[in-house]
Amino acid sequence: MSPTILWGLFAVLWGAIPLLIVGSLARYLWMKTTYAIESNGLRISTPLKSLVISIDNIKKIRRGKFWVESGRNYSATYIKLRIIYDRNSYIYVSPEDEELFVDTLQAINSNIEYSSERGL
């Protein structure tokens, strides 16, 4: 092998190691999102931030495919739940068992509307 090919192979391997480390860290941070229903609040926690929403303030939950802007996404999937609360606030979540999650929230606040896009 020529030295040029060896240097190119070395450069590719040297660049792949940081990429693998960053990818592993991003996956760890993304997969550590937890949703907990505590008394009358929904706590959404990630390793970097946490948010508590009063269940009484939740107006509507909609299941669908959403393009998401940064800052409101607590979801790791493309098909997610959009929780609309307060006046115009909303967040995106993706609990493991969507049906149980929605049923539990509706048991606490029966005024929560739930809608789902068909064909998902």
> Percent of the chain, pLDDT > 70?
82
Q: If DSSP codes are grouped into helix, strand and coil, which group holds residue 66?
A: coil
Mean pLDDT of the chain: 82
Residue 118: pLDDT above 60?
A: no
Residue 83: pLDDT above 60?
A: yes
Pairwise pLDDT comparison (71 vs 19), residue with the higher score: 19
pLDDT, tens digit, 9 for 90 and up, residues 34-79:
889 988 899 998 877 888 999 999 999 998 876 665 566 666 666 7
Residue 119 pLDDT class (50, 70, 90 cuts): very low
Q: Taking a C-beta distance cutoff of 8 angstroms, is the pair 88, 110 a contact? A: no
Residue 104: pLDDT above 70?
A: yes
Give the pLDDT of residue 43.
93
The reported pTM is 0.68
Q: Which CATH class is domain 33-116?
A: mainly beta
Give the best-scoring range by mean pLDDT among 16-20, 77-81, 93-97: 93-97
> Per-domain residue ranges for the chain?
1-31, 33-116
CA distance 53 to 33: 15
Give the pLDDT of residue 25.
79
Q: In terms of Cα–Cα distance, which of 45, 56, 59 is closest to 95?
A: 45
